[in-house]
A and B are shown apart, each in its own frame.
Chain A
Amino acid sequence: MSQAPKTSKSALLAAEHLSWCTDGNLILDDISFAVEQGSFTGILGPNGAGKSSLLRCLYRFVKPEQGMVSFEGHDIWQLNANDYAKNVAVVLQETPSHFNLTVHDVVALGLIPHKGIFARANKTDDEKIIQAIAQVGLAHKDQQNFEHLSGGEKQRALIARAIVQSPRLLIMDEPTSHLDVRYQIQIMELAKSLDITVIASFHDLNLASAMCDNLLVLNQGQLVCQGTPAQVLTKETLSEVFGVCAHISEHHQHKVPHISYYYGYIPDEHEHEHGKGEDHV
């Protein structure tokens, strides 16, 4: 099922034979893939598959034991942390804190890689911050406490911070978990509208299918398959990796794979009832 790694020269970010272990457990095992400039890449996999760990390797939080991650052909660990931050912005799941930072303060953090320690924010910076806040539709909550925002608004504020960081690559770790359907679509559309390269991990396979150009599927630390949603989201993958039984049809409007789950069946019984002809591969 797994395909040979495609490492092309135009890749913005590439992982080569990446392995990472913690406390003696192999969390990521020999992962190779490349992310094209301007593409939207989704990372799928069951809980504990190593999605977050892989992203951590990509955004330079943990150093892989073996292999390397390269940004435009340079090993990211050879790059200056600040320079990397100028190019790569990361939106993580919100962390709870009890400190009174306003939305404006949080968004202004995006300036850090671009500002010297004594540099004050000038007019252009202020405009950049205000524009980013307006772009995510939070202009009316500019001076509100970040902690008082709803989950979707927090996520949007963090994306605004990423916009201020003016990166070329945006990495998002499960940006849509804990959000209701409307916010899930809103956040994804927002990420798409930025017109930069995006890598995000997902739990919602249908959302990933609709949004991503490329998908990587992880299972137990290994990259089991990669390709377009139509190539990756097959009945076999779903049953092997996620252990669910599903019917895959074509989304009536977007023409991407659409997954409907079967409940209360075990895969083998189901295989008998529905022929392979119905799969949209």
Chain B
Amino acid sequence: MFKASTQKGLAQQGLAQKGLAQKSSAQKTLVDKKNGAWLEKKNISQTLVTVIAVIICFISLFCALSFGAADISFADVWHSVWPNDTDKDVGFIQRIIWELRMPRAILALLAGSGLAISGLILQTVTRNPLADPYLFGISSGASLGVVILIAFTGGIFTVMTPVAAFAGSLVAMLMLMLIAGRRQSQQVESMLLAGVALSFLFSSFTSLLLYHTDPQAVTAVLFWTMGSFSRAQWHNLLFPTVVISACIIFMLAYRRQLNAMLLGDESATTLGIKVNRFRIIMLLLSSLITATLVSMCGGIGFVGLMIPHIVRFFISQGTVFGILLTALVGGIFMIWVDILSRTILVNQELPVGVITAATGSLFFLTLLYFRKNRPS
């Protein structure tokens, strides 16, 4: 009785959502049709963007094979990659391309995608837009692990390198989580602060160790810590390829859960997600990618932070396309960074990390500037 009169009264007053219910039912069919079409169109355009990104990725790879210390024309690259009998002898060029540039370009692609994905994971599960393997101290931890290995075994790079890197990154991650604590509300802020502090701590240990190591090793290690793809060879590409593809597949499978993490731990819990376990698995995954890449090509900053943001400017990160595009854009970016690092100075190679930091920060600041001045 009382309930009925309540509803009747509200309806009479016209307060019932100001016709929200009626509007929705009357327009439902129309909206359904319109939205359905829109959704299809959106899917097509997203597919198109992804296809274009894949094409750009191939073009970039092709350019990476052509540019370098020895100038090789596009035609020669084409003939080396798809040789046929009538061609003139391209043996020397072919060797440069197949044995030097190709693995290097593929490693750059892997590193870019891996770091971008790693950054995306960190930013999502910690809900911190500034999260990045570099800023969280994970890269520094991995570097320290490698440098400790080098300092104590004397060997430069061995099979144990990725293991040492992963151990280092795990220690960094563990310390990060211990310091940041389990208090959900404070985690986001304290994690970044702790990460930056840890990053400096590990870097100082690395410097200290390097100070006491054989000077010859130091030069190699120093160049490596600033990032370089010069160690790329076919036989050591398999491991990062497997790790990064597996992580991307894992992320695609759990994309909905990742999105739910963005709305907060409580909301995610109410959707049936075991938040703490999920976060730890994702952080481990991120450490694994970072460690693999650090052991291969040293610390490369800014990519993990920047690429997810750049992609996010244009496309919702929550979809399959968002994740794939993040990986692709990261890869493309890194291929071009590698091209720059090989060509910017004559007969010399710049550390990749220097270029990513410079271009990355400039691009990021520009984007932020325009975003800030854009009428919202």
Residue B127 lies at the interface, judged by CB distance under 8 Å to chain A? yes
Chain A residues within 8 Å of chain B by Cβ, number: 65
In the bound complex, how far is the Cα of B273 from the Cα of A80, in angstroms?
10
Does B271 belong to the interface (CB within 8 Å)? yes
Please state if A189 and B263 are interface contacts (CB–CB under 8 Å): no
Question: Does B24 lie within 8 Å of A109, measured CB to CB?
Answer: no
Query: Which chain A residue has the least Cβ–Cβ distance from B312?
Result: A100
Query: In the complex, how many angstroms separate the beta carbon of A13 from the nearest chain B beta carbon?
Result: 14
Contacts of A165 in B (CB 8 A): 271
- A interface residues, Cβ below 8 angstroms from B: 56, 59-61, 80-86, 88-90, 92, 95, 97-102, 105-106, 108-113, 115, 117-118, 126-127, 130-131, 133-137, 139, 142-143, 148, 165, 171, 182, 185-186, 189-190, 192-193, 210-211, 213, 228, 230, 251, 253-256
A110→B313 CA distance, assembly (Å):
25
When the two chains form their complex, are residues B17 and A189 in contact, meaning their CB atoms are under 8 A apart? yes
Question: With the chains together, A84 CA to B256 CA distance in Å?
Answer: 18
Which B252-284 residues have a C-beta within 8 angstroms of A?
Answer: 253-254, 256-257, 259-260, 262-264, 266-267, 269-274
A135 / chain B contacts, CB cutoff of 8 Å: 24
Report B26 CB to chain A, min CB distance, Å. 10
Q: A256-B2, A256-B6 are in contact. Are A130 and B32 (CB under 8 A)?
A: yes
How far is A34 from B270 in the complex, measured between Cα atoms in Å? 20
Given contacts A97-B264, A99-B124, A134-B24, 20 further A-B contacts (CB under 8 A): A59-B269, A85-B271, A95-B263, A101-B318, A105-B318, A109-B263, A112-B271, A118-B253, A126-B39, A130-B31, A134-B31, A134-B35, A135-B24, A136-B20, A143-B38, A171-B270, A253-B5, A253-B12, A254-B5, A254-B9
CA distance A211 to B254 in the complex (A): 38
Q: A99, B317: Cβ atoms under 8 Å?
A: yes
Q: How far is the CB of A108 from chain B (nearest CB, A)?
A: 7
Given contacts A137-B17, A186-B17, A101 and B317 within 8 Å (CB-CB)? yes
Q: Is A109 in contact with B259, judged by CB distance below 8 angstroms? A: yes
A81 pairs with B272, CB closer than 8 A:
yes
Nearest A residue to B130, CB-CB: A98
